[in-house]
């Protein structure tokens, strides 16, 4: 975990949810696990407890600010793997992908869960993704709650989802493009 910050982030979230679900007898044990993984992550990114305490003291006396750091995907990659929702709002996802991103999502009927993507508008597609004729476009249907972890662990390069999914998790991504629908906000997100 010292060499892989994505794994540390996943482990921290796992320990957090174990703490939330723990019985009164196990809360101290789960809290200790959470702190250990946070300290390992801080050590990995070369932050000391003293630095954090200094920052907390500084925040106490200054205006509130939010600083976010994102690790963007490799521009030279030969594969674009996009996580898409396969259940709720899939019709809005498909419309967003085609109208705004130039990707036609092909879903099969009955029990066939295969989902394919076809680039139908090169100009729209090139605005958001690196493109050459050898690039491979893959779509992975997944549950919205799993998307952020797949993105964090670099299993996906992008996700198309509604913004409430992203707002509920640590900031590890970059919003690339979004549309506001009368009922939901759909966005393309990158690692």
Residue 120, H or E segment? none
Question: If you average pLDDT over residues 129-158, what whole number do you get?
Answer: 82
Q: What is the pLDDT of residue 104?
A: 93
Of these ranges, 9-13, 57-61, 84-88, 120-124, the one predicted with the greatest mean pLDDT is 120-124
Q: What is the pLDDT of residue 120?
A: 92
Measured CA to CA, the distance from residue 117 to residue 137 in angstroms comes to 7
Tell me which fold the domain 79-190 belongs to: D-Maltodextrin-Binding Protein; domain 2 (3.40.190)
What is the percentage of the chain residues whose pLDDT exceeds 70? 73
- Domain ranges for the chain: 5-61, 79-190
Measured CA to CA, the distance from residue 86 to residue 144 in angstroms comes to 9
Q: Pick the range with the lowest mean pLDDT from 35-44, 66-75, 83-92, 150-159.
A: 66-75
Q: What is the pLDDT of residue 165?
A: 63
* Residue 1's pLDDT band (cuts 50, 70, 90): low
Q: What is the pLDDT of residue 180?
A: 65
Q: What is the pLDDT of residue 171?
A: 66
Question: If you average pLDDT over residues 26-52, what whole number do you get?
Answer: 86
Question: Taking phi first (over 0 means left), then psi (-120 to 50 degrees means alpha), and beta for anything else, what does residue 61 get?
Answer: alpha
Q: What is the pLDDT of residue 48?
A: 87
Instruction: Indicate the pTM of the whole model.
Output: 0.56
Whether 30 shows a pLDDT value over 60: the answer reads yes
How would DSSP label each residue in 3-68? S-HHHHHHHHHHHHHHHHH--TTTHHHHHHHHHHHHHHHHHHTT--HHHHHHHHHHHHHS------
Measured CA to CA, the distance from residue 167 to residue 162 in angstroms comes to 10
Average pLDDT across the chain, whole number: 77
Whether 166 shows a pLDDT value over 70: the answer reads no
Sign of CA dihedral 29, 31, 37, 40: negative
The C-alpha angle 183, 187, 191, rounded to 5 degrees, equals 150
CB atoms within 10 A of CB 27: 13
Whether 73 shows a pLDDT value over 60: the answer reads no
Whether 3 shows a pLDDT value over 80: the answer reads no
């Amino acid at each position: 975990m010292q060499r892989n910050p994505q794994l540390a982030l996943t482990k921290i979230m796992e320990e957090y949810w174990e703490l939330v679900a723990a019985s009164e007898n196990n809360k101290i044990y789960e809290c200790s696990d959470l702190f250990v993984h946070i300290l390992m992550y801080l050590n990995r990114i070369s932050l000391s407890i003293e630095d954090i305490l200094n920052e907390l003291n500084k925040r106490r006396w200054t205006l509130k600010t939010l600083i976010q750091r994102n690790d963007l995907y490799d521009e030279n990659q030969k594969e674009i793997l996009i996580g898409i929702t396969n259940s709720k709002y899939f019709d809005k996802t498909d419309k967003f992908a085609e109208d705004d991103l130039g990707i036609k999502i092909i879903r099969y009927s009955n029990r066939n869960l295969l989902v394919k993507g076809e680039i139908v508008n090169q100009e729209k597609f090139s605005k958001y993704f690196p493109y050459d004729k050898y690039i491979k476009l893959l779509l992975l249907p997944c549950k919205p709650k799993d998307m952020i972890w797949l993105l964090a662990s670099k299993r996906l390069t992008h996700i198309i989802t509604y913004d409430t999914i992203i707002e509920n998790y640590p900031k590890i991504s970059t919003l690339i493009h979004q549309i506001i629908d009368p009922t939901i906000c759909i966005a393309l997100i990158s690692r």
